[in-house]
Structure 1
Amino acid sequence: MNLSISKPFSVRFAGEAGQGNIMMGHVFANALVKEGYNVVQTLHYGARVRGGLSYTDVLFDKVPIDFPKAETFDILYVMHDVAVPQVEHLKKNSLVFYDDEFVKKLPQTVSRKTKKVIKVSASKIAYNEIGNINVSNMVGLGILASVTGILSLDVLISTMKENVKENYYEMDEKALNLGYEFTKKTYKIRSGEKVTKLGRNFE
């Protein structure tokens, strides 16, 4: 049987509820749509409005996505210690970002899965350069876009303006710019994987 199923690229933004990771994923997902990708975004909220774990997953591909859920991730963005256990869901040779203000240390298991780990100072930049730690999500999104090359800064800015109130435009645009210039390090993302063989009893 001839089979070719694409496995979408998967990203999880995880942190403490109230840190803005849901908005981070929302802007990211909508910007990907502008770039011509098929996109699925799902959300998870902890039991508490603030203080518990929350995360959003974004799957994207150039072809239609057959199943809207991922168990493992190509990129994990960790915003808080409460989300550190999410590293269990990393793929081999995946890419990890973590905010060093709220994540003090990643477990050693991470180094066995990937060497591509980037410590970001998104919260410090947001507080020191803009005076508002709440825009650390946009700083982080700028960093992720710059490192991976998935999205251009212009697309991120225009998408942000479609998803936040107008009085936040200037502050969020500055945050995206600061994040985009944070590092010159880059990691090329893989092209879409193809599954060409089904398991037994699925032919």
Structure 2
Amino acid sequence: MPLHPPHSVRISGIGGQGNVLMGIILADALVSMGLWVVQTQSYGAQVRGGLSYCDVLFCKEPIDYPKANNFNVIYSMHQIAVNAHINLLKPNGILIIDSSYVSNLPKEAFRITKKIIMKPISKLTQERFGTALPSNMVGLGIISKASNIIKPEALKKAMKKHIKEKYHKLNEEAIDFGISLVEKSYTLKEESREFIRGFE
């Protein structure tokens, strides 16, 4: 009997936006919940400004292949990332967009899903905290509330393992702020055991 295909999250942006740290913390939190997790990351040639992304796959069963060709959740922090990855969203998947750096959402997004959350996350973070630095933690809060895949307390505990102690309170507040920005939550659909395309 084939393994149950994992759920998948892609967090994408440009170098310097903190998307890889988001993925690392999300993966750590999912592990703490007893799930099997694979986390991978990719950087462009540029240290800052080039396309970069972090993928997190998770499942209640062992994961037999560490990559996904399409995703249940895509969180995009820049126009470059949206343009590159929008077609990788699974039908009826969750699309989260930071419109601070995205001015144009491709039309195909609306053909793929109605579960679109588009907010000026970095701008709102700057207004709320006086700095845009914790925008990535706000993003994790949004993912937590929008997808129901991770408990906020698990995120906060994982965050403390990867961020200096003097920033813990700020980032806990940022996660809570992200949660407060989401009006509607969705549940990821369980994949059929027979449907393994993209994970073979």
For the superposition of Structure 1 and Structure 2, which TM-score range results when normalised by the shorter chain? over 0.9
Query: Secondary structure in 1 aligned to 2:42?
Result: strand
Query: Secondary structure in 1 aligned to 2:105?
Result: coil
Alpha-carbon distance in structure 1 between the residues aligned to 2:36 and 2:172 = 25
Q: Percent identity?
A: 42
**What is the root-mean-square deviation of aligned Cα atoms in Å?**
1.6
TM-score of the aligned structures, taking structure 1 as reference length: 0.92
Once the two structures are overlaid, the 10-residue window that deviates more, 95-104 or 187-196, is 187-196
Letter aligned with residue 125 of structure 2? A
Q: How does 1:45-194 map to 2 (within 5 A)?
A: 45-84=43-82, 85-194=84-193
Question: Residue deviations 1:98-122, cap 9 Å, x none?
Answer: 0010011210011111111111332
User: Which residue number corresponds to residue 25 of structure 1?
Assistant: 23
Question: After TM superposition, which residue ranges in structure 1, 4 or more long, deviate above 4 angstroms?
Answer: none
Alpha-carbon distance in structure 1 between the residues aligned to 2:4 and 2:103 = 36
Shift of 1:192: 4.3
Letter aligned with residue 149 of structure 2? I
Question: Residue deviations 1:16-45, cap 9 Å, x none?
Answer: 100000001111000000111100000100
Partners of 1:97 and 1:119 within 8 A in 2: yes
How many residues are paired up?
197
Partners of 1:120 and 1:140 within 8 A in 2: no
User: Which residue number corresponds to residue 43 of structure 1?
Assistant: 41
For structure 1, which runs of at least 5 residues remain unmatched after alignment?
none
For structure 2, which runs of at least 5 residues remain unmatched after alignment?
none
TM-score of the aligned structures, taking structure 2 as reference length: 0.94
Query: Secondary structure in 2 aligned to 1:50?
Result: coil
Letter aligned with residue 181 of structure 1? S
Question: Residue deviations 1:169-199, cap 9 Å, x none?
Answer: 111111001011112311111224312799x
Letter aligned with residue 3 of structure 2? I
Partners of 1:11 and 1:58 within 8 A in 2: yes
Structure of larger gyration radius: 1
